[in-house]
Structure 1
Amino acid sequence: MKTQMLFAAALAAASGAARAEDASAPPPAAPLPVVTVAPAPVVAPQAIVLPKGTMVRLMVTKEINSRDSKAGDHFTLRVDEDVKVGGLTLIPVGATGWGEVVTAEGTGGVGKKGRINAKLLFVDVGGKRIPVDGERQSAGSNATGAVVYSVLAFGPLGLVMKGGNASLKAGEILNGYTTEDVAFDKPAA
C-alpha cells in the first residue's frame, strides 16, 4: 500500500508540475473563425437591340445619274434622322451609309430614256456595319413626243434626239430597313 501511496503522491506531484508549466505557457490561441466569401455574381453586359426591320432614313449626298455611273459603283448616303430604341439613339443623324449602283443605262437615240437602279448596303456606326435593305429605281424623261416633232421638222436627223438621264438627286431620301437584329452596348448611366 505504501507503494500505492508513493505512486499517488508522485502522480499528484507530476500533475502539479504540469499545471505549473501550463500556467507559465501562453494560453492556446483561439481558433480563427472560418469566413466563406461567395464569388461575385457574373453579370452579363447590358445590351440594347436594334430590331430587324427598323427603318433608317438615308439622304443621297451627291447626285448619281445614268450618264456617269455604272453597275458596281458605290455611293455615300447620310442618315437623315436619329434611330432610337428605348429613348437611346443607336444610329445618329450624320452617320454614313453606303449604296451600290445595280444597273445604269444611259440615254439612247429615238428618245430612249436613261434608267438607274440602286440598292442600299449598310450604315456605319462607330465602326459597326449595320446591313440595310432598300432599293430605288429611276428613269429619265421620255422624249418620244419630241422625237416625232423633230422628225417632222428635221427629217431623219430628229431620230438622234435622246431622252433624259435617270438620276438620284442630292438630298433625295431613301428608306432602308435593317436586315438583322443588331446588339449595341448600353451606355453607362
Structure 2
Amino acid sequence: MKIKSLAFASALFIAPSVFAQDTVPIEATAQEGAEAAIADPVTIPDDGAFSDALADDAANTEANSSPNAILPLGTEVILRMNEQVTTSGNEWEEGDTFTLVVDQDVMHGQFVVIPEGSEAQGRITSLSSRGAFGRSGKMDIELEFIRVDGRQIAINGSYRQEGDGATVATLGAVFVAGPFGGFVTGESASIPNGRELSATIANALELNVPADRVENTPQVSEVDSDWRTYHEFTDRSLSPSGRVMQARQMRDAAIEEAQLTPAGRVAIIGIVE
C-alpha cells in the first residue's frame, strides 16, 4: 500500500511539469505565426498567365466603358405661358420676369432629360404701351432658363408681340379722322396664358447615362418585333395574305407605341464647354 501511494504521488508531482512544458500561451502562438508569415510571405507562382489575365481585364474594362451621353446644343423645348403678359395698364414693366412651364418631355433617345411641367423663366426686355394715332402696344421678351433638379438650364428664345391695332386699317382711320386722329388709339399687346413658345437649349448638356446605352436601348423586344407574334390576333375571316398584312400592321403599331414610351429619367451632370 505504501509503494502504490508513493507511485501515485510521484505521478502527481511529475504531471504538472510535463503539462507546463507542452502548454504555450495563445498570444505567443499568434505572434509567432504573424512573424513567420512576414519572414516567409506566401507568393503566387506566375508563369505569365496571371499577368496576362490582369491585362486582359483592364483592356476589356477600357473597351466596354462609354462616354456619357450629350444632349446637343440647340435641342428644342416647347414651353407654355403660365400667366398673361400685356402692355395694358401698369401691371408689367420692362425688366419684369414671368413664368412658363415645359409643355412636353425633352427626350434624348428613349430617356427623359427635362420632364414636362418643369418651370421656366422669361423676361420683358422692351415694353411700350398703346398710344395715340393708332400706335399699338409692343413688347419684346427673352426666354432665359428652365429649372431642372435645382439647376438653371439656359435657353434661347426671343419674341416680339404687337397689338392688333398696328394695321393698315387703323392707320387709314387716323388719316380720315384728320385733327381728331389723336383720339384713335391702337391695341394693347398681349401674350396670353397658355400660349406655346419654342426655345432651344443654349449649351450642350452631359447626362448621367452612357452614350452607347442611349443608342442601343431596345425600342421593342425581339419577340414583339416579329409579325408572327400578332398573327393569332388577326381577323380569321381574312385571306392568308390579308392576315399576314394585318399582323405586320399590328407589329408596326406596337413598335411605334414603344418608341414613344420613355425608358426612364436621366440627370444632367453639367454643361459641355
TM-score (norm 2): 0.50
The total of aligned residue pairs comes to 155
Residue matched to 1:144? 171
Tell me: higher relative CO, structure 1 or 2? Use CA pairs within 8 A at least 6 residues apart.
Answer: 1
Cα deviation, residue 161, structure 1:
2.4
Q: CA deviation at 1:182?
A: 1.3
Q: CA deviation at 1:49?
A: 2.0
The equivalent residue for 1:59 is 80
Extract unaligned runs of 5+ from structure 2: 1-35, 45-49, 210-265, 268-273
Percent identity between the two aligned chains: 27
Q: Distance in 2 between matches of 1:81 and 1:128?
A: 19
The residue number in structure 1 matching 2:152 is: 129
Q: Which structure carries more helix by proportion?
A: 2
Deviations 1:111-158 (A, max 9, x none): 111101101101111111111001111110223344456x37xx63x5
Q: Mapping of 1:5-154 within 5 angstroms?
A: 31-34=40-43, 47-67=68-88, 68-142=91-165, 143-148=170-175, 151=177
Contact 1:46 1:185 in 2 (8 A): no
Counterpart residue number, 2:6: none
Q: Which residue of 1 aligns with 2:260?
A: none
Read off the aligned partner of 2:81 and give its amino acid letter: V
SS in 1 for 2:69: strand
**How far apart, in 2, do the equivalents of 1:167 and 1:45 lie?**
48
AA paired with 1:144?
L
Q: Quick one: which of 189, 192, 202 aligns to 1:169? A: 192
- Distance in 1 separating the partners of 2:66 and 2:184: 64
Gaps of 5+ in 1: 1-28
Instruction: Give 1:160 deviation, angstroms.
Output: 1.9
TM-score, structure 1 as length reference: 0.70
Q: Which has the higher strand share?
A: 1
Secondary structure of 1:118's aligned partner = strand
Q: Secondary structure at the match of 1:111?
A: coil
Aligned 8 A contact 1:91 1:125 in 2: yes
Structure with greater Cα Rg:
1
